[in-house]
Amino acid sequence: DQQVKQNSPSLSVQEGRISILNCDYTNSMFDYFLWYKKYPAEGPTFLISISSIKDKNEDGRFTVFLNKSAKHLSLHIVPSQPGDSAVYFCAASGPNTGNQFYFGTGTSLTVIP
Amino acid sequence: DVKVTQSSRYLVKRTGEKVFLECVQDMDHENMFWYRQDPGLGLRLIYFSYDVKMKEKGDIPEGYSVSREKKERFSLILESASTNQTSMYLCASSLVERNSNQPQHFGDGTRLSIL
């Protein structure tokens, strides 16, 4: 049973515009959420995280928003750049997951120059 | 910077062979993980280890085993490789800190093909 879901397999955005990637989760005990970026033939790279005590965390062009009541998080990239084209995975963990992270299926972002 | 090194980027093996995938991390992390990534399925956890000689099954352990004899090294073993084990294999490690969450750091992956 998929505890973390990314319902959009792909997304295309014009360069300079905002990219919004979405993620939903089912386990209300999750308290730590992360986004990873993955280029082909490379491993995922940690991008940004948020703990459940916050609803927003910002790092440069990347902002993660957490809506605990909706069990939803999103990653905003502003402005989008062609180098942002990659697969983005969200992941979650909690005190009852025993060091384990649960990953979504990924969203492939294409930023069009 | 954390460095997680997987011994091979590409590997081709035959059905029935015993296959070893090696992973080494250089940051003294307690936790190490093995995932496989398949299109449309995301990252699925095979096994993880939270200490030397300790291991826990993940979501898809069937057909795999692991070994952690030293803290820095975590090996994934395909006991008798089958074609449905053709996949991208990713190793990760993470630090355990008492009062803060820590992300996992990944290696570059091993693209394994079983013929």
pLDDT tens figures, B53-100: 899 999 899 999 999 999 999 999 999 999 999 999 999 999 877 666
Query: In terms of Cα–Cα distance, which of A99, A34, A92, A30 is closest to B48?
Result: A99
Name the residue among B43, B45, B107 with its Cβ closest to that of A89. Answer: B43
Residues 6+ positions from A70 with CB-CB distance below 8 Å: A24
Chain mean position to CA A11:
13
Q: What angle do CA A10, A15, A21 make, to 5 degrees?
A: 35
pLDDT tens, position by position, A47-64: 999 999 999 999 999 999
Rounded to a whole number of angstroms, the distance from the CA of A90 to the nearest CA of chain B is: 10
Question: How far does Cα B81 stand from its chain's mean position?
Answer: 15
CA distance B15 to chain A (A): 24
- Residue A23 CB contacts under 8 Å (≥ 6 apart), including other chains: A4, A5, A6, A33, A72, A73, A74, A75, A90, A104
- CB-nearest partner of B31 from A6, A89, A99: A99
Query: If you search the block for the tokens 């502003």, which residue do you land on?
Result: A78
* Beta-bridge partners for B105: B93
**Cα B34 from Cα B93, distance rounded (Å):** 9
On chain A, the residues whose CB falls within 8 A of the CB of B96 are: 99
Supply the DSSP symbol for A9. Answer: S
pLDDT at residue A14 in the model? 97
For B84, phi and psi rounded to 5 degrees? -75, 0
Q: Does B42 touch chain A (CB under 8 A)?
A: yes
Neighbours of A88 (CB within 10 A): 23
Instruction: Say whether B104 and A46 touch across the interface (CB within 8 A).
Output: yes
Spell out the residues 6+ positions from residue B22 whose beta carbon is closer than 8 angstroms to its own: B6, B7, B8, B73, B75
Partners of A105 on chain B (C-beta within 8 Å) are 40-42
Mean pLDDT of all residues in chain B? 92
| Cβ–Cβ < 8 Å for B93, B104 | yes
- In whole angstroms, give the CA distance from residue A77 to residue A62: 5
Mean pLDDT of A59-80: 97
**Interval B22-55: pLDDT, tens:** 999 998 999 999 999 998 888 999 999 998 989 9
Residue B41: list chain A partners with CB under 8 A.
105
Mutate to test the interface with B, among A46, A49, A97, A107 (most CBs of B within 10 A): A46
